[in-house]
Chains A and B, each alone.
Chain A
Amino acid sequence: MTTINEVKNILRDTLQIGDRADELQKDTPLLGNIPELDSMAVAMLITSIEEHFDIFVDDDDISAETFETFGSLCDFVEEKLAE
């Protein structure tokens, strides 16, 4: 499974957005487009990503830009995997 599909599944499960996850493209905005992505959800999403990919995300690694689009989140995960 590609990183994109894995991140898509994490978003589907964590945010409980169902079939809307299938419509996510790399340029799909997350902030402002997925209302479920609030402060509580961000914390759970990051924890899920850390557990699934076995990576460590530092507080300073994440910002609003990380969650700007589905692509920016996938790029962030791939960068962390490459470290």
Chain B
Amino acid sequence: MLNWFKISYAQIGFSGTIYYLADIILRKIKIGSVYPYCFLSQPLSSPGKKLRLSKGYAVRKIQPGDPRLLEILPPAVCDYRFEQKAVCIGAFKEETLTALLWFTTDIYHEDEVRADFIPPSDACWDFGVHIEPEYRMTRAFSNLWGASTVIMNDMGYEKSLSRISAFNPISLHAHTRMGAKLIAKAIFINIGPVQISFSNAKPLLYISFSKSSRPRFYFHKNDQSLAT
């Protein structure tokens, strides 16, 4: 137990460890869960280190109902995302779908917790990045992200916002290496039908008693980077 705490503390800090422990206990007794989120802003023009695109990949938008998309994601998930006008971008290698990501330019309706995230006018919201297992050690991701940033830029966006679980320090570091900055944090605690959220972005505190009650987080052009 002490060793687990030490490892967890080293990776996600004291508060993260407490949240993680609370999540384990709530899930164990089957009454709830804890989701701590970090909100990141990724500049689209300077992704840390410039990634080279390769000719072997074709990156393009994927339309609803594409059978290659449905081989990767359940139809209900695709429908939920397309219904909120999300754009799906895929990286194809010889017509094999190797990687995909989604972004929305308006409200992002989170599907893990009850919350909506609204990016500022100069930003989109990316989510659902997936790389097929056999392509994870290849350039699939760099081609996908590189071409997607061009598409987002062409649509007039300068940055892309996203949320990462604070339980996933590796992903957080990976985004930071790409030039992302942390702009806000939030924690969602679900106990039975009740969801309590705390955040340093408004609404600072929100208690939801039903599925229709969702806090809306508005992000702004001038959101400053938080100390990590």
Interface residues of chain A, those whose CB is within 8 Å of chain B, are 14, 16, 31, 35-36, 38-44, 46-48, 50, 58-60, 62-64, 66-67
Contacts and interface: CB of A to CB of B under 8 A. Distances in A.
A59 B177 CA distance: 22
Given A16-B177, A38-B170, A64 B137 contact: yes
Contacts of B173: 16, 36
Interface in B168-195: 170-171, 173-175, 177-178
Q: State the majority secondary structure of interface residues on B.
A: mixed
A36 B169 CA distance: 9
A66 B139 CA distance: 13
A47 B51 CA distance: 6
Contact of B141 (A16, A42, A59): A42
B54 A59 contact: yes
A39 B136 contact: yes
Given A35-B170, A47-B49, A40 B56 contact: no
Nearest 10 pairs between A and B by C-beta?
A43-B142, A39-B141, A59-B56, A40-B174, A64-B137, A35-B170, A39-B131, A39-B136, A59-B54, A44-B49
21 contacts: A14-B49, A16-B177, A36-B173, A38-B136, A38-B171, A39-B131, A39-B141, A40-B141, A42-B141, A43-B51, A43-B141, A43-B145, A44-B178, A47-B52, A50-B52, A58-B54, A58-B56, A59-B138, A60-B56, A62-B138, A63-B137
A44 B177 contact: yes
A46 B139 contact: yes
A36 B139 contact: no
Given A31-B137, A63-B138, A64-B137, A40 B177 contact: yes
Contacts of A47: 49-52, 142
Interface string B99-115: 10000000000000000
Contacts of B171: 38
Contacts of A66: 137
Interface string B126-141: 0000010010111111
A30 to B, nearest CB: 10
Interface in B51-89: 51-52, 54, 56-57
Contacts of A41: 174, 177
Interface in B188-215: none
Name, among B99, B137, B140, B141, the residue most crowded by chain A CB atoms within 10 Å (CB to CB): B137
Interface-central residue, A16, A41, A48, by most chain B CB under 10 Å:
A41
Given A16-B177, A59-B54, A59-B57, A44 B138 contact: no
B156 interface: no
Nearest to B135: A39
Contacts of A63: 137-138
A35 B175 CA distance: 14
